[in-house]
Amino acid sequence: MPQLPFSLKPILNDLVALWIMATLAVCGGFVFNQLRSNPLPLMYASKAERLDAAVKSVSNTVLLENNDAVFQDLDLATFRAMMTTHPEAIILDVRPEVFHRLSHIPRALSLPCEEFESAYNTLRPQLERNKAQILLVYCSGGSCEDGEMVANALLKLAYTKVYLFRGGWNEWEEAKLPQETNR
């Protein structure tokens, strides 16, 4: 066997040391994650799964998983008419909070899909005053799944009059209708 010009022993020692350090770093990361007040999940959860978990967390009662209630779709004209004829209706903007702060439909409250649990807890006194009140939900517009998911979540929480304005913010803005900001 030919003689190598270098020894493999130092390289093997370095590889073992590297493997030990990497193992310690990964284990340390897991430990520190679990010590956080809000640890990151070890398995990916879809947006729908995260919303379901948030709904279960905020619910004081049994969720209505198999109820036959469905939200109703609204076009722009009907949405505006409901805002006018039902001034007690609560308008919910489910877009991310940053977009709500920049501009939103007048009287709209922010209930972002991604931060449903904390936002719902903030709005809880207004929302739970009357589960039969009219809730007008909107998102960005078009095929925005956040609006559908939040509307369905509200139905699971036993709200009975949930409406979704599918045109959402995009249609409202294109129609050059009044806007509010939270800056």
In this structure, are residues 181 and 101 in contact, taking their beta carbons and an 8 Å threshold?
yes
Contacts of 3 (CB under 8 A, 6+ apart): none
- The CATH number that domain 47-174 falls under is 3.40.250.10
* pLDDT at residue number 94: 97
Residue 96 corresponds to which amino acid? P
Q: From first to last of its 183 residues, what are the pLDDT tens digits of the chain? A: 566 666 777 888 889 999 999 999 999 999 999 998 888 888 888 899 999 989 998 987 656 565 667 899 999 999 999 999 999 999 999 999 999 999 999 999 999 999 999 999 999 999 999 989 999 999 998 888 999 999 999 999 989 999 999 999 999 999 999 999 876
Tell me the domain boundaries of the chain: 1-42, 47-174
Amino acid at 147: G
180 DSSP β-pair partners: 104
pLDDT at position 85: 96
92 — phi, psi (to 5°)?
A: -120, 120
For the stretch 82-88, contacts whose Cβ atoms lie closer than 8 Å and that sit 24 or more positions apart, written own/partner, are: 82/134, 82/136, 82/163, 83/107, 83/136, 86/134, 88/133, 88/134
